[in-house]
Chains A and B, each alone.
Chain A
Amino acid sequence: AQSVTQLGSHVSVSEGALVLLRCNYSSSVPPYLFWYVQYPNQGLQLLLKYTSAATLVKGINGFEAEFKKSETSFHLTKPSAHMSDAAEYFCAVLSGTYKYIFGTGTRLKVLA
């Protein structure tokens, strides 16, 4: 069975500091991995996805993630946090054609 684990339900960073949100996966087959962001009372927006084409994936809003098979990780990073990055972030793995297995989410707080 496939699963993802997000370490840290809450992460706080200062504005301008590095953002690192952790996601580890478990999969018996090559995984397809996604990061989504959710702002309060809104739907989910895709930040980036890993589909085996490249291990370093660049997404929207300056975010990127690196797929590391040896560490079974797909951590999300951004060099410099902005106040507008404050939101909930979900890592997900695709199970079959349609089903996402979501992590429990990480709430990012950006301090002025």
Chain B
Amino acid sequence: DTEVTQTPKHLVMGMTNKKSLKCEQHMGHRAMYWYKQKAKKPPELMFVYSYEKLSINESVPSRFSPECPNSSLLNLHLHALQPEDSALYLCASSQREGLAAPHNEQFFGPGTRLTVL
């Protein structure tokens, strides 16, 4: 299985809603990532979990809250978002055990298209 899955595919939410994005991989990867991608722009890194611990937080607003319940799952909890948070949210995974960093390319999921009204 060489796939990263993300649910839901599309999400529309109001500014007062609470929702969650989910990501799953079964490749045995030990690092998982959240990216935000605006139209016609490259992905921007938000968070990195390594061995289920938060490793990188790129100064993301607290209305985004990541969670890594186990080595296969990654969630992104959303609360009180703003319209400018509308974007494609991508999950990725990497880092098979025993391989050095450059050989551990990131595998991306298809993304969740989020619209905040």
Q: Give Cα distance in the complex from A102 to B45, angstroms.
A: 10
User: Judging by beta carbons under 8 Å apart, are B102 and A104 in contact?
Assistant: no
Interface size on B, residues (CB 8 A): 28
User: Judging by beta carbons under 8 Å apart, are A42 and B42 in contact?
Assistant: no
Question: What's the interface size class on A, roughly?
Answer: 20 to 34
B21 interface hit (Cβ, 8 Å): no
What is the 8 Å Cβ interface bit string for chain A, positions 63-104, against chain B (1 contact, 0 not)?
Answer: 000000000000000000000000000100010111110111
User: Judging by beta carbons under 8 Å apart, are B108 and A45 in contact?
Assistant: yes
| Residue ranges of B at the interface with A (Cβ–Cβ < 8 Å) | 4, 31, 33, 40-43, 45, 48, 50, 55-56, 88, 90, 92, 94-95, 101-103, 105-111, 113
Q: A46-B107, A49-B105 are in contact. List 7 more A-B contacts (CB 8 A).
A: A44-B106, A44-B108, A45-B108, A96-B101, A97-B101, A99-B56, A107-B40
Which 6 pairs from chain A and chain B are nearest by CB?
Answer: A102-B42, A43-B108, A32-B102, A51-B102, A44-B108, A97-B101
| Residue ranges of A at the interface with B (Cβ–Cβ < 8 Å) | 32, 34, 36, 41-46, 49, 51-52, 90, 94, 96-100, 102-105, 107
